[in-house]
């Protein structure tokens, strides 16, 4: 759609036919955000009203079950949420991709050189280069475009801002240069490739799958090239609960090594059995040979493997509970998952900084405020970022105010699930 026409429609009617399937009742506010996005694009990349303009949206995600199980080819339970990253895009007919995110430096990639650049490790430009490189490897001819993005997916929030960004980038290129041939799983795998190989973070596939697919999904990563996915219907309101994500406001900076150590130590345990990942090892084998694992890999690795086996099985129990409508059983498993992450996985605190343990403190506070009801757990990668809580509706207001009295105003986000994954909004 031409830029001038797009702006008029966003202002006058809000393009409900495009936005309501994605945003539902929030379509009018989404239209306002998108209009501001198009205007900000024009400030960064001056263009006329005749410029063909495209809009895209990719949601953040929340992990519901399976903490650090995906990279070991286990099971995961995740959902997309109603916080998203949006992009205004105009093809530029060059061999250069330029993506400007609000409050961040321009990411610029020359498509004539898609080699890995170590100086870009950990930066968003590496994700753009990695996505373009992977699509090129798959046989697609990628061209240049200019994009401006804004996001409501808080960086370092455990809602997977990086996964949302890389899946969004893949979705843009899929629409512009691949004829829309890539499905949600393909987009997720392209994003994971960029994060693993170019960004330098050895993540699994769960975050990208949730961002790309939408809804609540149960995923079996036994075959990571062809993950088995099924939708799980969940209406939290009908169960009398709300989902809260509480931002610890602690930085993920310098924590990549901590995340990588979890993957590495689990793989070291798997190697004791001649396997690459724990998903190919049975719990019975592990327990029978625990003494050998301890002697070979150390106690922390053994504990982290313990967590994997139990949390992997818990995902199946959580799915079963939700599908049976037994929310109390689901909450029980969430609590057990949180306990396991704290005690065995050990991704709640960075013990190099004993005076700073925000995740642990907020978990203690959440558990105290819930007083035996609901459930709470560490959320996502851990060490910093966020915690997750399922809060009874009748105590939601008190819970939010209690958490924000310690974590700070605006730290507690009440979220809903989003049915749409990463999608072109207007093309």
271 & 211 share domain? no
Looking only at the bridges linking them, the beta strands covering 96-101 and 75-91 are: unpaired
Distance CA 351, CA 88 (A): 42
Question: Please, what is the angle between helix 161-177 and helix 184-193, to 10°?
Answer: 120
Spatial strand order in the sheet of 375-379: 375-379, 386-392, 241-247, 412-415
3-state secondary structure (DSSP) of residue 50: coil
Q: Which of 52, 55, 41 is nearest to 5 (CA)?
A: 52
183 & 39 share domain? yes
Distance CA 372, CA 200 (A): 40
| Radius of gyration of the chain from its Cα atoms, rounded to whole angstroms | 22
271 & 188 share domain? no
Distance CA 329, CA 150 (A): 38
Helix (H) and strand (E) counts in the chain: 14, 12
- Name the one residue in this structure whose structure tokens are 């392209």: 190
Which CATH number do you get for residue 340?
3.30.70.890
Quote the tokens at residue 318. Answer: 């959580």
244 & 378 share domain? yes
299 & 220 share domain? no
Quote the tokens at residue 141. Answer: 């001819």
- Name the one residue in this structure whose structure tokens are 């990695």: 130
- Quote the pLDDT of residue 251: 63
Q: Which residues of the chain have pLDDT under 70?
A: 154-160, 251-254, 351, 353
221 & 246 share domain? no
Q: Terminus-to-terminus CA distance in the chain, angstroms?
A: 6
At residue 365's C-alpha, the angle toward residues 363 and 370, to 5°, is 95
Find all residues with CB under 8 Å of 262, minimum gap 6, and list them: 68, 304, 345, 347
Query: pTM for the complete prediction?
Result: 0.88
Distance CA 115, CA 332 (A): 47
- Quote the pLDDT of residue 385: 82
295 & 159 share domain? no
309 & 213 share domain? no
178 & 242 share domain? no
At residue 169's C-alpha, the angle toward residues 6 and 125, to 5°, is 120
Distance CA 282, CA 298 (A): 19
145 & 288 share domain? no
CA distances from 419 to 24, 193, 218 (A): 10, 25, 14
The predicted-structure confidence for 27-57, as pLDDT tens digits, reads as follows 999 999 999 999 999 999 999 999 999 999 9
Quote the tokens at residue 263. Answer: 């993957």
- Quote the pLDDT of residue 292: 97
- Quote the pLDDT of residue 159: 62
- Quote the pLDDT of residue 411: 92
124 backbone dihedrals φ, ψ, rounded to 5°: -65, -30
Total domain count, the chain: 2
Which CATH number do you get for residue 85?
3.30.230.10
- Quote the pLDDT of residue 253: 58
Question: Please, what is the angle between helix 16-23 and helix 27-44, to 10°?
Answer: 110
- Name the one residue in this structure whose structure tokens are 């050189």: 113
286 & 310 share domain? yes
Distance CA 246, CA 396 (A): 13
| Structural domain containing residue 341 | 237-415
- Quote the pLDDT of residue 156: 52
208 & 242 share domain? no
């Amino acid at each position: 759609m031409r830029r001038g026409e797009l702006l008029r429609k966003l202002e006058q009617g809000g393009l409900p036919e495009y936005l309501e399937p994605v945003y539902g009742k929030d379509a009018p506010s989404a239209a306002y955000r998108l209009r501001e996005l198009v205007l900000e694009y024009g400030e960064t990349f001056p263009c006329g009203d005749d410029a063909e303009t495209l809009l895209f949206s990719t949601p953040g995600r929340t992990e519901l079950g399976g903490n650090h199980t995906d990279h070991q080819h286990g099971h995961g339970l995740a959902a997309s949420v109603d916080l998203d990253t949006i992009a205004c895009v105009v093809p530029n007919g060059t061999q250069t991709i330029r993506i400007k995110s609000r409050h961040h430096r321009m990411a610029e990639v020359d498509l004539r050189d898609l080699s890995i650049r170590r100086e870009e490790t950990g930066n968003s430009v590496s994700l753009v280069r990695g996505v373009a490189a992977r699509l090129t490897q798959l046989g697609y001819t990628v061209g240049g475009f200019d994009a401006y993005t804004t996001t409501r997916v808080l960086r370092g929030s455990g809602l997977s801002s990086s996964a949302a960004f890389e899946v969004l980038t893949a979705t843009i290129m899929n629409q512009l240069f691949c004829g829309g041939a890539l499905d949600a799983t393909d987009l997720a795998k392209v994003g994971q490739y960029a994060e693993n190989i170019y960004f330098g973070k050895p993540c699994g596939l769960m975050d990208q799958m949730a961002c790309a697919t939408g809804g609540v999904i149960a995923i079996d990563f036994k075959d990571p090239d062809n993950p088995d996915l099924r939708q799980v219907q969940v209406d939290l309101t009908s169960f009398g609960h709300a989902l809260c994500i509480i931002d610890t406001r602690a930085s993920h900076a310098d924590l990549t090594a901590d995340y990588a150590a979890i993957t590495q130590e689990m793989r070291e345990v798997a190697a004791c059995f001649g396997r690459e990942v724990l998903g190919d090892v049975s719990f019975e084998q592990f327990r029978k040979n625990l003494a050998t694992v301890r002697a070979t890999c150390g106690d922390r690795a053994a504990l982290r493997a313990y967590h994997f086996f139990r949390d992997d099985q818990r995902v199946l129990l959580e799915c079963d509970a939700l599908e049976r409508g037994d929310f109390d059983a689901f909450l029980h498993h969430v609590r057990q998952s949180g306990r396991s992450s704290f005690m065995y996985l050990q991704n709640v605190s960075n013990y190099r900084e004993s005076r700073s343990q925000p995740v642990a403190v907020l978990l203690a506070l959440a558990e105290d405020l819930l007083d035996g009801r609901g459930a709470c757990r560490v959320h996502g990668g851990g060490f910093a970022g966020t915690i997750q809580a399922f809060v009874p509706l009748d105590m939601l207001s008190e819970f939010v105010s209690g958490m924000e009295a310690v974590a700070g105003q605006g730290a507690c986000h009440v979220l809903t699930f989003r049915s749409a994954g990463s999608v072109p909004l207007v093309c």
